[in-house]
Amino acid sequence: MKLGILVTGDTTGELNAKYGSFTSMFIDLFEQQGVDLTYLAYDLREGQFPYNINECDAWLITGSEHGVYDKLPWMQPLEAMIREIIAAELPLIGICFGHQIMASAMGAMVEKSDKGWGLGHATYQVCGKGAVKEVVINAMHQDQVISMPEQAELLLTSEFCPYAGFTYGPKVLSIQAHPEFMNEYTLEQLLELKGKLFPERETKIAFDGLMPPKKNLDTDIVAGWMLSALSA
């Protein structure tokens, strides 16, 4: 399977050198599940859009430092591409900003939340009748989806982030948090941006939550959901 990664943001500086790009984080995530995929990365910020949606077998939209409301030149074409992919019933995954812009493309509202930043370990209730009732994933966001998109079913929810995950049929999945962010990267990102982008109070709470004894991340569970969507 050829997975097209639609890059809308990335790591920078020393964090990039130490932990790699968002693209490499997703590759590592899937390789840890024993899955061998072929990857093509498209930096949408540089106008690197695929020729058509059949250029890859499946698609993934990364996180970003931007918000949907920034309305940058590449965002409207991306929303059109999202609708085209969903209509064609091709597999599609959106993470963080990817989750938000997919919801926006399907008619939902996205805004900078007055609840502030969601940072570090986040616990989400899993909707539906499956055996898994909740998952813990690293989060790093201030924007939130605030209404249900068309064709979506709620997958994940929490008091802080009610619309934290959606499915749009068996092949399309979006999640607000970051299953590709391991604890070590999250800690260093928090330290780098503490007092600059992330408020001191939220950063300290998140940092304390990442210190022993800490909850185990449910990376394997969420990665399994993602791979199920890609192979559906």
User: Is the per-residue pLDDT at 214 higher than 80?
Assistant: no
Q: What is the pLDDT of residue 194?
A: 85
Indicate whether this model's pTM tops 0.85. Answer: yes
Q: Domain limits of the chain?
A: 2-112+143-178+218-231
Name the CATH superfamily housing domain 2-112+143-178+218-231.
Answer: Class I glutamine amidotransferase (GATase) domain (3.40.50.880)
- The predicted structure's pLDDT at residue 142: 96
Here the tokens at position 182 are 């391991």
* Cβ contact 94:9 at 8 Å: no
Banded pLDDT at 232 (limits 50, 70, 90) = confident
Q: Indicate the pLDDT class of residue 83, thresholds 50, 70 and 90.
A: very high
Q: What is the pLDDT of residue 213?
A: 60
Q: pLDDT digit string (tens) for 170-188?
A: 999 999 999 999 999 999 9
* Mean local confidence (pLDDT), 139-150: 97
**Crossing angle of helices 183-193 and 200-209, rounded to 10°:** 160
